[in-house]
């Protein structure tokens, strides 16, 4: 297990580093997809199959495609125009912020009850059912708010597209 974990993590770190250092935007996106896949792999490794599949469905099937469309609407995809941005004080600020965030995460995850309370071997048939039940009982309000928000976004997109149609 340890070898699998380390290999997966190494691939993920490589993908993450490449995603922020590569010049070509589409290459960055593909590196990011490698990172997303690594997260899905970690979920599968932790026997959280549902989360793993959801990760693939949402992050690779939807988020990556969304970023793709956004990239196709921008200029300078290949990253050849303009010089490399100067990595001055901002770089150190970023490193400081990221490492302090990571440190905070470590502390809180270690302190959290979830680490000890997590039902290990979560592949039992009941887990998906349990998630479903919780979604329509305890978490029904956040679920509904999310649904309304997404519907509003969808209608908004249609309205914007319709206005453009009328102008022609």
Partner 1 sequence: MDAIYQLIHDYCPTMPDWLALALAILLPIAIVMGVFLTVFALLTWVERKALGRIQNRRGPNRVGPVGLFQPIADGLKLLTKEDIVPNAADKVVHFLAPVLVVVPAFMVLAVVPVAKGFIAVDLNIGVLFALAVSTASVLALFMAGWASHNKFSLLGAMRGVAQVVSYEVPMVLAAVVVLMASGSLSSVSIVEAQRGLTGWFVCKPWGLVGFVIFQLCAMAEVARTPFDLPEAESEIVAGYHTEYSGFKFALFQMGEYVAAITMGGITVTMFLGGYLGPGCDLPKFGWLISACWFFAKLGIIVVINIWARGTWPRVRVDQLLGFAWKLLLPLSLVNIVAMAVWHFAPNKLVGWVESAVLLAVAIVALVKINAGQTFEKRSYRFTS
Q: Which stretch binds partner 1 (CB under 8 A): 15-23, 60-68, 86-94, 140-148?
A: 60-68
Q: How far is the CB of 6 from partner 1 (least distance, A)?
A: 18
Q: How many beta carbons lie within 10 A of that of residue 96, not counting itself?
A: 10
29 in Cβ contact with 60 (< 8 Å): no
Q: Which stretch binds partner 1 (CB under 8 A): 24-32, 81-89, 92-100, 107-115?
A: 24-32
Give the H/E segment covering residue 168: none
CA-wise closest residue to 96 among 104, 106, 84, 107: 104
Give the footprint of partner 1 on residues 126-165 (CB under 8 A). 127-129
Query: Quick one: which of 13, 57, 90, 149 contacts partner 1 (CB under 8 A)?
Result: 57
109 in Cβ contact with 115 (< 8 Å): yes
5 in Cβ contact with 43 (< 8 Å): no
Q: In terms of CB distance, is 90 or 129 closer to partner 1?
A: 129
Q: In terms of CB distance, is 39 or 68 closer to partner 1?
A: 68
Q: What is the DSSP letter of 137?
A: T
Q: How far is the CB of 33 from partner 1 (least distance, A)?
A: 6
65 in Cβ contact with 49 (< 8 Å): no
Q: In terms of CB distance, is 12 or 40 closer to partner 1?
A: 40
Give CA separation, 16 vs 73, 79, 130, 154, 163, in Å. Answer: 23, 18, 33, 31, 39
Query: Quick one: which of 65, 107, 136, 152 contacts partner 1 (CB under 8 A)?
Result: 65
Binding site for partner 1 (CB under 8 A): 24, 26-27, 30, 33, 49-50, 53-54, 56-57, 60-61, 64-65, 68-69, 72, 123-125, 127-129, 168
């Amino acid at each position: 297990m340890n070898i699998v974990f380390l290999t997966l993590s190494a691939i993920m770190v490589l993908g993450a580093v490449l995603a922020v250092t590569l010049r070509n935007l589409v290459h960055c996106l593909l590196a990011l997809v490698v990172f997303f896949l690594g997260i899905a792999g970690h979920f599968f490794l932790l026997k959280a199959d549902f989360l793993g599949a959801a990760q693939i469905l949402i992050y690779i099937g939807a988020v990556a495609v969304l970023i793709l469309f956004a990239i196709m609407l921008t200029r300078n995809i290949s990253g050849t125009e303009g010089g490399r941005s100067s990595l001055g004080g901002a770089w150190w600020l970023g490193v400081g912020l990221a490492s302090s965030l990571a440190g905070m995460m470590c502390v809180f995850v270690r302190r959290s009850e979830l680490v000890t309370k997590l039902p290990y071997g979560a592949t039992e048939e009941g887990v998906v059912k349990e998630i479903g039940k919780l979604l329509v009982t305890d978490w029904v309000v956040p679920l509904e708010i999310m649904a309304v928000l997404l519907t509003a976004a969808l209608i908004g997109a249609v309205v914007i597209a319709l206005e453009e149609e009328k102008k022609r």
